[in-house]
Structure 1
Amino acid sequence: VSFELAVPTVEELAERIRRTLVNWPWLVCADDGGRVLGYAYASKHRERAAYQWSVDVSAYVDVPVKRSGVGRGLYTSLFALLRLQGYANAFAGIALPNEASIGLHTAVGFEAVGVYRSVGYKLGAWHDVSWWGLRLQAIDGTPAAPRPLAEAAREPGWDAALRSGLAVIRV
C-alpha cells in the first residue's frame, strides 16, 4: 500500500525527484529498452538538526521483476552512496501486511524497530506501518554534516559505489 491518495502526475513526480536530488540519491533501474524496473531513494528522516545523519529510504520494484535482485541492487548502491555522503542510519516504513518488502529489508540488513498502529487511512481502512532501521556506518566523535549529493558525487569512489549493486541484479 502506497500512502499516496492520488497517483502523482509526471510533473509532480519529476519535481519530487528534482527536490530530492539536491541532497540525496534517487536511483532508477531500467532494462535495455528503457522500461523502469524499480527505483530507490533517500529523504530527510526528521526536521531537527540532531537527526541530520539519518535518512528515510524507500524502494519500489515492478511486479514482473520482483525477486530478481532489483530491490537489493538498488539498495546496495543507495547505501554505498549514502555512506560516502556521511550518513549513519537509514530507516524504512513498510505498510502492513507486506511480506515481500519485509523480506527485502531483512535481506539487506534492516532490523524491526516498531509499529505505528493505524497510522494511515486509505481505501476505507486504517493501515499499520512497521519501521525498520539499518546502521549504515559507525561515526566516531563529532560527525561532520552529511555532504550534499553534488559534492559527494565528486569523490573518487562515487562511480564504484553507484555500480556496487549491479552484481546482484538478475534481469
Structure 2
Amino acid sequence: MDETPEVQVRPGTEADLTALTSIYNHYVRETAVTFDIEPITPEQRRPWLLSHPEDGPHRLKVACETGSGRIVGYATSSPFRPKQAYATSVEVSVYLSADAGGRGTGSLLYEALFADLRGEDVHRAYAGIALPNEASVRLHQRFGFTYLGTYREVGRKFGRYWDVAWYEKPLGPAD
C-alpha cells in the first residue's frame, strides 16, 4: 500500500508565504543549492512572491498534498536579467521540502510551470545548478534542458567555493 500523499499543483498565493519561506530557508541553512547565506523572514520574501502573478512570464506554482494541504514544494519562472532585452528569457527553479524528494513532485511542478509558459512571450528558460546536485541535473535534462557550461568556484558558502552549471531550454509555441 502506497502511503505517499497525492500532490496537486496550483498557483502560489500570498497565504503560502510562510510555508514557501520555510522551504527556502532549509536550503539557505543546510545546502549550497542557493547562495543566500542568512535565512529570511516571510516579510523579506513578500516582494519575491508578489513578483510572480498568476499570469505573465514570471509564475509561481505550488505543490500541495491533497487532504492536508501541506505545501511540499514550488517552482518559479523569474526574470533572467533586469535589462529589457532579456525580457523573453526566464530563470526557472524548483525547491522541495526536505521530505518531498524522489516522489515526482519536481516533475509535476515543472509540467505545470511549462504548460503555463506556453502561452507567454518567452523564448528561453535557463537554470543554474550548484554542483554537485545530480537530482536537479536529471530533472532538468528530463525536461529538455541542455548543458551550456559551468561557472567554476563562482559562489562561496560554508567556507568553500561552489561551481554552478548552466542549462538552457528553448520555449515557444511547440513547447
Bucket of the pairwise TM-score, normalised by the shorter protein? 0.7 to 0.9
Counterparts in 2 of 1:14-163, with a 5 A limit? 14-21=46-53, 23=56, 24-31=58-65, 32-137=67-172
2:45 counterpart letter in structure 1: L
Query: Which deviates the most, 86-95 or 8-17?
Result: 8-17
Q: Which runs of no fewer than 5 residues in structure 2 stay unpaired?
A: 1-31
2:49 counterpart letter in structure 1: I
Residue aligned with 1:74, SS: helix
1:9 corresponds to: 41
Matched pairs, number: 139
Residue aligned with 1:58, SS: strand
Residue aligned with 1:85, SS: coil
Give the structure-2-normalised TM-score.
Answer: 0.74
Aligned partners of 1:138 and 1:112: how far apart in 2? 22
Asked if the contact 2:119/2:173 (under 8 Å) is kept, the reply is: no
Asked if the contact 1:88/1:138 (under 8 Å) is kept, the reply is: no
Aligned partners of 1:3 and 1:75: how far apart in 2? 22
Give the structure-1-normalised TM-score.
Answer: 0.75
Asked if the contact 1:118/1:128 (under 8 Å) is kept, the reply is: yes
Aligned partners of 2:105 and 2:173: how far apart in 1? 27
Deviation at 1:67, TM superposition (A): 1.9
Deviation at 1:138, TM superposition (A): 6.0
- Deviations along 1:17-41, one digit per CA (max 9) or x if unpaired, are 0123385111110113121111000
- Deviations along 1:42-66, one digit per CA (max 9) or x if unpaired, are 1111233222111001101223221
Residue aligned with 2:136, SS: helix
Aligned partners of 1:49 and 1:138: how far apart in 2? 22
Deviation at 1:132, TM superposition (A): 0.4
Identity, % of aligned pairs?
38
Instruction: Determine which structure has greater relative contact order: mean sequence separation of CA pairs < 8 Å that are 6+ residues apart, divided by chain length.
Output: 1
Aligned partners of 1:109 and 1:51: how far apart in 2? 21
Residue aligned with 1:68, SS: coil
Q: Which runs of no fewer than 5 residues in structure 1 stay unpaired?
A: 140-171
